């Protein structure tokens, strides 16, 4: 069964909307996580469109490179890859909810929007 690019695009947009809503209520770690998720889904949509297959991986850098993204987009993806881990899992000395700031969430949203803008050109 062929994946539907439009469904991945819709979910990417919904995740970005969630990121922005979570920023407003100061759930910064969750906002950053949903920024990463929106980016992952738009890149997967672009891969489905280009390669006619869903690539089941969470590595945004891998997906961006597969799509021949420019280096600034790859760098955004590298940052958002770290967000994926840091926003989800407690470390020995902190929980994600304790360390993410307004600035962190805003940066994740900004970088996600840049990747999304680039990826939409490939849809």
CA-closest candidate to residue 106, choices 15, 39, 28: 28
- pTM (two decimals): 0.94
Name residues whose C-beta falls within 8 Å of residue 78's C-beta, 6 or more positions apart in sequence: 60, 61
Which residue bears the tokens 């695009």?
Answer: 9
Average pLDDT over residues 41-48: 97
Kindly indicate the confidence band of residue 1, based on its pLDDT and cuts at 50, 70 and 90: very low
The whole-number pLDDT of residue 3 equals 75
> CA 50, CA 84: separation in Å to the nearest integer?
25
Angle at 70 between CA 21 and CA 102, to 5 degrees: 25
Q: Which CATH superfamily is domain 5-120 in?
A: Nucleotidyltransferases  domain 2 (1.20.120.330)
């Amino acid at each position: 069964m062929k994946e539907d690019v439009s469904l991945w695009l819709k979910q990417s947009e919904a995740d970005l909307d969630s990121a922005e809503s979570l920023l407003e209520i100061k759930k910064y770690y969750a906002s950053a996580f949903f920024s990463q998720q929106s980016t992952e889904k738009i890149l997967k949509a672009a891969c489905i469109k280009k390669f006619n297959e869903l690539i089941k991986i969470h590595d945004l850098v891998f997906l961006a490179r597969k799509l021949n993204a420019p280096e600034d987009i790859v760098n955004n993806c590298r940052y958002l890859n770290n967000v994926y881990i840091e926003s989800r899992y407690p470390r020995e000395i902190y929980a994600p909810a304790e360390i993410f700031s307004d600035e962190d969430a805003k940066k994740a949203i900004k970088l996600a929007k840049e990747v999304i803008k680039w990826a939409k050109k490939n849809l």
